[in-house]
Each structure stands twice: as C-alpha cells, then as structure tokens.
C-alpha cells in the first residue's frame, strides 16, 4: 500500500466510477482498475461492489475509507510541516465566463484556503482577449478554449499564438446548440428553423465554432448577447438558437423546456508564456489538477 494507491482509491470512492476517477486524477482507466485490484489483494478484502460501471463501497470499503482519509491527511500534514514556507505574492489569472462559473468556484476556494498569502486576481474575457493578455504580460496565465481540428476552421485556430505559449489541457467541455423545445430535431445546419444564433462576443471560441457549423448549410445571423442567461432566455422565447458548454447549461434552471444538439468536445487549456512560471503559478496548477480530497484531508487535519 502506498499514497498513490490511496489517491486512486479515494478518487474511485468519490466518483463511483473508474472512468470518471481516471479523468479526475489524470490516469488511464485500466491503470486505475489494476491499482484497485492490487490494493484489494493486499488487504485481502473487496473494497468495491461492481454493478456494471458503477463502483459502490462495500462494508469493508467504508471502513477503509475512514483510514485512507486519515492517512492521506497525515501525509499532507507531514509534507507541509517539513516544507519551506509556501509561495506568496500575486497571480493574475484569466478565465472565460463559462469556466469561471462551472469549473473554478471549488478550485478557487481550495486555493485560497491552502495559500492565503497569494493574492489571486481573476480577469474575465473571451479566448482571444485572454491570449492577448497573456502575451502582453497583463496576465500570468489564462484558461482558454481550443476546438479540435474536426471543428476548427483556419480562422478559429489559435496555433500561431499558442506557439508563443505553453499550453496544458485541463478540461474537456461538451459544446451544444440550445434550441426551443418546439424546434424540430436536427442533424445538420440545414435543419435549423431559427434566423439567429445567440452567442457571446466575437472573440469567443464557442461562438466561432457554432458560426462555422451553422453557416455551412444555413443563413443565420449572430445575435450578440452579454451572458449565458440572456442566451437561454432568448432561446426560450423562441427568437433564436444558442451556443454554450453543457456544463454551464447544467447549472441553470428554467421553467420552460429547451433541447440541445451536440457540436462536439472543446478543450480548455491553461496557457502561460514560455519559460515563465512562478511559485504562485505552480501552487495554482497543483490545486487545479489535484483531486479535491487531497486538500480536504489536509484542511481537516489542520
């Protein structure tokens, strides 16, 4: 048994799925499965009952969970006790509105709890604005969107700018068109019955992907709005179709029905200038990529 095995066990216990746990801790599902089986062999008990793809803790697994959290918390406490003082200063972070809403609240709360001596300044903007801010040294790093080549046109590609930046994939968003409930089912843009596409500002990657997809087969103008709530309101009123990540749509509750059409996955990248990183950036990256239970255990121990 080692700390890495405990991390994997805690991730599966939290997500109830090998696949979701593997995504959360940056491993392949087969490796997670093997490590769980090795841990069960080492302990001589089954830690999970397996119902299809769902992983549920057994009685022994629930007992072991308590010990695993305590061991992990003690390990983190020991690491912080012998490490030199943590980073301080400031970190200028840029983010798209969608990422800030659906991904960052928990990350920023954990970061602030772990590193209160770092002043994090959050700036919102479109992907285009954020890339320019990092290149101009107005931001230390930024979370931006990049569509896969299957969805990206030449004018959507950020490759020339990314050549000047270090880019690390951190999330994958499912991009969707949002349609009124009364809209007929669609397979291609030729099936669209709306005259407008509701989207954010021109520098938004999600907007450009949707515009490229829609305009392959349909003549649709773009209705520029200031927020995702305004987009859904416009769609609900039957005036337009909209575009947004599904993770943002899932945060919203609307009294009337809407439907969606998948446009495909879009990566969220953390970008910074090449060969420029700071202790504050490294601390943020560690929290961004680390499973939630790691810091939670440390805070309980503290």
Q: Each residue of 180-225: pLDDT tens digit?
A: 988 888 888 888 888 899 999 988 999 999 998 888 766 788 999 9
pLDDT at residue 88 above 90? Answer: no
User: Once rounded to an integer, what is the mean pLDDT over residues 42-53?
Assistant: 90
Dist. CA 146–CA 127, nearest whole Å = 9
pLDDT more than 90, % of the chain: 53
Average pLDDT, the chain: 85
Contacts of residues 192-196 at CB distance under 8 Å and 24 or more positions apart, as own/partner, are 192/217, 192/218, 192/220, 192/241, 194/220, 194/239, 194/240, 194/241, 195/220, 195/221, 195/240, 196/220, 196/221, 196/222, 196/223, 196/234, 196/239, 196/240, 196/241
User: What's 58's domain CATH number?
Assistant: 1.10.10.10
Burial class from Cβ neighbours inside 10 Å (0-12, 13-18, 19+) for residue 232 reads buried
Contacts of 42 (CB under 8 A, 6+ apart): 1
Whether the per-residue pLDDT at 91 is higher than 70: the answer is yes
Domain identity same for 25 and 68 = yes
What pLDDT was estimated at residue 194? 83
Of 204-213, 233-242, 245-254, 285-294, the one with minimum mean pLDDT is 285-294
3-class secondary structure, 219: coil
pLDDT tops 50 at residue 46: yes
Cβ atoms of residues 166 and 273 within 8 Å: yes
| 154 pLDDT higher than 60 | no
Position 37 scores a pLDDT of 93
Residue 84 pLDDT grade (very low, low, confident, very high; cuts 50, 70, 90): low
pLDDT at residue 230 in the model: 92
91 token code pair: 């970190």
Read off the pLDDT band of 76 (50, 70, 90): confident
Please report whether residue 281 resides in a domain. Answer: yes
Name the pLDDT band for 159 (thresholds 50, 70, 90): low
Q: Is residue 114 part of a domain?
A: yes
Q: How many domains does the chain have?
A: 3
Residue 299 within any structural domain of the chain: no
Question: Do the domain assignments include residue 29?
Answer: yes
pLDDT of residue 178: 93
Full domain range(s) for residue 145? 89-171+269-289
Report the CATH number that the domain containing residue 102 is assigned in CATH: 3.40.190.10
Query: Is 152 a residue whose pLDDT tops 50?
Result: no
**Buried b / exposed e along 127-145 (16+ C-beta atoms within 10 A):** bbbbbbbbeeeebbbbbbb
139 and 209 assigned to the same domain: no
Lowest mean pLDDT among 85-89, 93-97, 153-157, 289-293: 153-157
- pTM metric for this prediction: 0.65
> Do 148 and 11 share a structural domain?
no
Q: Are residues 167 and 178 in the same domain?
A: no
Q: At how many degrees (to 10) do helices 3-15 and 18-25 cross?
A: 130
Among 47, 65, 83, which residue terminates a domain?
A: 83
* Mean pLDDT within 260-275: 92
Residue 144, CA distances (Å) to 95, 158, 273 in order: 7, 10, 14
Residue 296 belongs to a domain: no
């Amino acid at each position: 048994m080692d700390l890495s095995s405990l991390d994997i066990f805690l991730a599966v216990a939290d997500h109830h799925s090998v696949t979701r746990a593997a995504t959360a801790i940056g491993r392949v599902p087969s490796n997670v499965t093997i490590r769980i089986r090795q841990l069960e062999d080492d302990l001589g008990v089954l830690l999970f009952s397996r119902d299809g793809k769902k992983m549920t803790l057994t009685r022994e697994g629930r007992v072991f969970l308590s010990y695993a959290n305590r061991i992990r918390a003690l390990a983190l406490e020991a690491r912080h006790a012998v490490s030199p003082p943590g980073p301080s200063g400031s970190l200028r972070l840029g983010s798209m509105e969608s990422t800030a809403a659906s991904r960052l609240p928990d990350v920023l709360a954990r970061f602030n709890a772990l590193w209160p001596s770092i002043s994090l300044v959050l700036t919102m903007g479109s992907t285009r604005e954020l890339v320019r801010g990092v290149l101009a040294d107005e931001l230390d790093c930024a979370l931006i969107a990049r569509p896969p080549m299957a969805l990206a046109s030449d004018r959507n590609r950020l490759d020339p700018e990314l050549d000047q930046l270090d880019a690390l994939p951190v999330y994958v968003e499912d991009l969707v068109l949002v349609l009124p409930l009364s809209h007929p089912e669609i397979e291609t843009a030729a099936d669209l019955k709306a005259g407008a596409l509701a989207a954010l500002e021109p520098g938004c990657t999600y907007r450009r992907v949707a515009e490229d997809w829609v305009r392959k087969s349909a003549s649709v103008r773009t209705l520029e709005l200031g927020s995702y709530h305004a987009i859904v309101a416009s769609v609900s009123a039957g005036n337009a179709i909209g575009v947004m990540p599904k993770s943002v749509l899932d945060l919203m509750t609307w009294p009337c029905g809407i439907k969606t059409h998948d446009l495909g996955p879009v990566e969220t990248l953390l970008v910074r200038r090449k060969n420029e990183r700071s202790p504050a950036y490294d601390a943020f990256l560690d929290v961004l990529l680390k499973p939630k239970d790691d810091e939670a255990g440390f805070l309980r121990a503290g």
